[in-house]
Amino acid sequence: MVFAPDTEVALRSVVGLINSAANGREELAAQADLDAFLEAEGFTGSRTRDAAELDSVRALRRELTLLWTADEDTAVEIVNRLLREAKALPQLVKHDGWDWHLHASVPEAPLADRMSTEAAMALADVIRGKEMDRLRTCEAEDCDAVVLDLTRNRSKRYCDTGNCANRAHVAAYRARQAAAG
């Protein structure tokens, strides 16, 4: 295990949020899309379900996209700003089948604040652990999705948004076949 389980869950949610706009797609086009994303990611707490909430989540996505590829000093600045703006107050909580873990916002806080706080807390662990190199961009030439590499040998190169790894492997196989033939 590289990170605590709740940190890994939060990091995977960040990947899902960032990749919801990868490769020219917009997977958070409507409130129903946000509802489905939050359900899939297990986000709980209060919701306004209005256009402002959707816009704030999209704005957070842009911030997290910048953070994902930032150098360590810039990442620290963004993480600290996100925590400050959300008025984060870390607390141990236990709920919904989860044992003790950290929350830094109350369930009544605005959705984007809760999401940014969770992301910032997880990314703070990444930064403190000197693990920024685990935050990558897909190596497929035609893909701009992000990758979270939690493998022991740090070998994950392709995203989970499509068939990037399969396409790269097929292309490499065909190139070897062509070179041999």
Asked if residue 125 has pLDDT above 70, the reply is yes
Q: What is the mean pLDDT of the chain?
A: 93
Higher-scoring residue by pLDDT: 81, 2: 81
Specify the DSSP element, H or E, that contains 102.
Answer: strand 98-103
Q: Per-residue pLDDT tens for 92-122?
A: 888 888 888 888 988 899 999 999 999 999 9
Q: Per-residue pLDDT tens for 17-41?
A: 999 999 999 999 999 999 999 999 9
Specify the DSSP element, H or E, that contains 7.
Answer: helix 5-19
Q: Where are the domains of the chain?
A: 5-180
CATH 1.10.3300.10 is held by the domain 5-180: yes
Contacts of 177 (CB under 8 A, 6+ apart): none
Q: Is 117 left (phi over 0), alpha (psi -120 to 50) or beta?
A: alpha
137 pLDDT tier (thresholds 50, 70, 90): very high
Q: Per-residue pLDDT tens for 67-90?
A: 999 999 999 999 999 999 999 988
The per-type count for the chain, helices as H runs and strands as E runs, is: 6, 4
Q: Per-residue pLDDT tens for 41-74?
A: 999 889 999 999 999 999 999 999 999 999 999 9
Contacts of 105 (CB under 8 A, 6+ apart): 86, 87, 88, 89, 113, 114, 117, 118
**128-137: b or e for each residue (b if 16 or more CB lie within 10 Å)?**
eeebbebbbb
pTM (two decimals): 0.89
